[in-house]
A and B are shown apart, each in its own frame.
Chain A
Amino acid sequence: MELIVALIPLLPFAGFVITLLLGKWVLGKRADVIPVLMATASWVLSMYVFVRVVADPEYVFDWNAFTWISSGALETTWGFYIDPLAAIMLLVVGTIGMVVHYYSIGYMKGDEGYYRFFAYLNLFMFAMFILVMANNYLLMFLAWEGVGLCSYLLIGFWFRKKSASQAGKKAFLVNRVGDFGFMLGMLLMFLTFGSLQFTEVFADVGAAGPAALLGICLLLFTGAVGKSAQFPLHVWLPDAMEGPTPVSALIHAATMVNAGVYMVARSYPLYIDSHTAMYVVMGVGTFTAIYAALIALTQNDIKRVIAYSTVSSLGFMFMALGSGAWVAGIFYLLTHGFFKGLLFLGSGAVIHAMSGQQDMRFMGGLRRKLPITYWTMMVGALAMVGIFPFAGFWAKDEIIGFEFTHHLYYIWVVGLITAFITGIYMFRLMFMTFHGQNRSSPGVQEHIHESRPIMTVPLIILAIPAALAGVLAGWPPESGWIHRFLHPVFFDIESEPFGIVAFILLLVSLVIGAAGITVAWYLYLQRPELPGRLAARFPRAYGASLNKFYMDEIYEAAVIRPVIGFAGWLWTFVDTRVIDGAVNGLAWLWGRFGRLLRPLQTGRAQSYALGILVGVVVLIVVFRIVEG
């Protein structure tokens, strides 16, 4: 098992090194072979681990390979930990990672950075595998920043485009703000527990005071807010769509952005003892869910709509974790990975067919020309909205139902509203893209074609779990397989039998989702002129949503400009004028002092003799007085 666990991240890492070193000059167009092979091998191995854990959910694997940082009482290792939670993450990361590798062969064909792209993808797989398998917070942090780095490199993949390099940098920096919290959380954790190993910290939770525990949880959560794009650090994710679409699918939908959710779930023993922290998680998640959904309503870029829906979905997951529906939250993470990855890859196929066009206002009617893309995306959209029997239905409705049965009625209502909006914007996307008349230029229209099998087969592969994963893992609701599987991780949670209340709640949220779709159908197919009139009728609301509630502008005015201005003042005034001015001023003063004494050095013997005479006289007088 040690070897297998070690190989899962090491294979992609080897792929990264080889491809980066040899890719440009030796491998050329074949640069995809090694990375794809490595991703496939890692998938096989992670499936092996997954099956191993499924066979025995009580199985726990904890292995310290070798020391990393050790100083005084601090002992951290390159160590790995496998339990059902890690196994689920391995399944998601391994599967979607592999599928995206294959898809990229088609999508990135002919790009001049072909080898670089695959090298980065492999590096990402390495870091992501470490992230989900780490057995201590510090190693997790290493991988956490590592996936952030890959995200930075891949968002800015087309680095000559300013918007792309800008977006990559923004992603890294916003995440750094979150990581600042993560880092402080770890410091506080070490000072509280004397360790950063999961098992040691969790065994010792009772020893921490409530304030320290709350501090640790909130600081760690800051990191999660950054990585999982929660309000107010969500601003980087929509811009991250500048990256190639496979990257959006892999990193910004299915895997990396889930890291925050995973980390909070992993820290379950800490959070469960700190109710205040749980409330904060729930509050931030719930707010983000509806906030992002409202923005998604008016966006015109197909990828941005999906990006905001991802932010919203991640909010849902935090809402679930914070309110205590731990299993449902992870269940949603699992299913969401599949259908959101599918939606992104589908949108990639659409963009490919439209010769790079991403604006939905210039799409339409693609249903007939891209049948495979259409139907697979339809599965993804239905899953996203939560329609029976697709994957999202089981997970999402379980979360919403949980809020009701646990008397969190406000959260329940917000959840329902969000589900309703989700129905509208998801099918707005579907209808604007695939239905009606095509609105692009004739030149573009000529080239519309279904993608090659290397891209469509991955869509079909992902459509299967997007359709079925829910019922397989989640039936019967609230006590399905996933509940039993994850029970060793979330040990305090008792699953409840499926009853009549739960059934009614399921129906309610199903109806709400369907209502959303109906509204979209009415607005975008039946009365296509209505949305424009609505926007004209409520210009402020429309503008706020279209401009993302002006968050970027607020940051610009409230953070970036003041900091840059302050820094400039520090440099030009404090550093140059005050500090260096004092240094140079001192030198100048010495110079003046010297000039003052210069007349004394006349060089004439007479004046020196006079000086000596005067001095002697003065000395004699002084000695007289002193002795006298």
Chain B
Amino acid sequence: MKLRIIFSIIASRLTRFGLRILGRGGTALPGKVALKICPDILRTLARDVKTIVITGTNGKTTSSRIVEQILTEAGLSYFANRSGANLIQGIVAEFAMHSKVTGKPKCDYAVIECDEAASVMVCKYINPVVVLVTNIFGDQLDRFGDVMNTLENVKAGIKNSPSAVICLNADCSLSASIAREIENQVIFYGVDTEIYRERIPEVSDAAHCIFCKARYEYDYSTYGHLGGFNCPKCGYKRPQPRVAVGKILNQSADSTTVEMLVDGETLVACISIPGGYNIYNAAAGMAVALALGISKDAAARALAGVESGFGRMEKLPLGGVSARMILVKNPAGCNQVLNFLSNMDGQALFVICLNDNVGDGRDVSWIWDVSFEILGTMGDRLSGVIASGIRAHEMALRLKYAGLPVEKLRVIPDYDQLIDAMAGQDKPVVIMPTYSAMMELREKIAGKYGLKDFWE
């Protein structure tokens, strides 16, 4: 058995090494190789590592980055599955990479972003010390009931984590409901106030009480179905969070400053990544810090030093122009980007790159479910919109029907020309690409201006 472990680890690392030599960021194959040789490998590798598992629909990657920064600030050694390979193979590969060939870990902690459905198996083998659930939303194709599937998967993962402290979003009626069914210690985090001045009307994924089906009432709402919910019929309501964002003091294109109430003590935190939904990720990070016994001041310092993840509000070098890239996959995520954009002070240029390769989804119909209409209300704060990518013309059409003045709209399908157009003006740029568009654009910008490889 021992030999098998050693062989499994070595094989996994060799595979990864080979892929890197070929210049590829392959993240699943090394884990596949390790699992083939030793199916129980993850249990062995994770035994002496204190693992924080991060799951939920939106915000996994950014929350993981925040938790990493908190561990760094606290001077703890850790590794993370940064490349976003969040299924069991990718996670195994990451553990194999960060252990000695004997199976002993090189770090004390691991920050593991985990797919909702994979969390059942991953938690079973890893036995995490903390599980963070960011939120539960419907993806585009499963607006009809599959949200409950996601919830069940996440719940099953937690039930496989008997010794973990569970951090839950108090404002999400779906994820908060998990607390009723588990014995674990729970730390709730939430936002006590609205976060956007202007907001896109959205369809709620959870308008009705999960326990009795009555319609929730809200004291306030932040976005989607998140907010101060209560059920008038059965009394299920937003639990009182230990980490509560009380006030939004300042929101800019680069950061957000908030007042947080942590265990009754007020502190001011600057979050170095913008966007209303990242306030939640910051509060989640603070909750994880409490769970790990890390001081709130160290955690608050960490929030000011977070760099955003690959394609999540990621800052791009573009000559002298400030540019941020925000990956979009579904209408809910897309609406949040539009919320961010429409709440920005000062002028901005907005770019949408719509591809229809397999990784993006061949069907681009979903853009008609996004409330692009808000762009038409931004007036002078929107210096222009560029539609780009394989389906640039379809995107342009959507924007026309959304009421965007045609003189503000440019269609530039080609990415080289797009980069020149963005760099050749002086307004901050917000780029919203689909998956393959992001990869392609990133590679081209890397070629022109230099950029880290995504697996680093």
Q: Do A and B come from one complex?
A: no
Residues of A that sit less than 8 Å from B by CB: none
Residues of B that sit less than 8 Å from A by CB: none
